[in-house]
Amino acid sequence: MKDTFHLNTKLLGLLGHPIKQTYSPFIHNIAAQMKDLDYIYLPFDVPAANLRNALRGMIALNIKGFNVTIPHKENIIQYLNNVSEEASIIGSINTVVNELGKLNGYNTDVDGVLATLTPYKKEINGNDVSVVGAGGGARAVIYSLIRHFKPKKIFIINRTEQRAEALKNYFDAKMKFTAIKTRELFPPDLVKIFNDSKLIINATSVGMFPDSDDVITKLGDSFVKDQLVFDLVYNPPETRLLQLAASKGAIVLDGLKMLVHQAAKSFELWTGEKIPVDELQKSLLMVIKN
Ligand code: NAP
pLDDT in tens, 38-62: 999 999 999 999 999 999 999 999 9
**What number of other Cβ atoms are within 10 A of residue 175's Cβ?**
14
Q: How many residues make up the chain in this entry? A: 290
Q: Is 289 helix (H, G, I), strand (E, B) or coil?
A: helix
Q: How far is the CA of 11 from the centre of ligand 1 (A)?
A: 29
pLDDT tens for 229-262 read: 999 999 899 999 999 999 999 999 999 999 999 9
Q: So which residues are the catalytic ones? A: 73
Mean predicted confidence (pLDDT) in 280-287: 91
Pairing of strands 10-16, 228-231: unpaired
Please work out whether the CB of residue 142 comes within 6 Å of at least one atom of ligand 1: no
The backbone region for 99, taken as left when phi is positive above 0, alpha when psi lies in -120 to 50, beta otherwise, is beta
Q: How remote is the CA of residue 30 from the centroid of ligand 1, in Å?
A: 26
For the whole model, what pTM was predicted? 0.95
Q: Is the CB of 208 under 6 A from ligand 1?
A: yes
d(CA 202, ligand 1 centre) in Å: 8
Nearest residue CA, atom 32 of ligand 1? 205
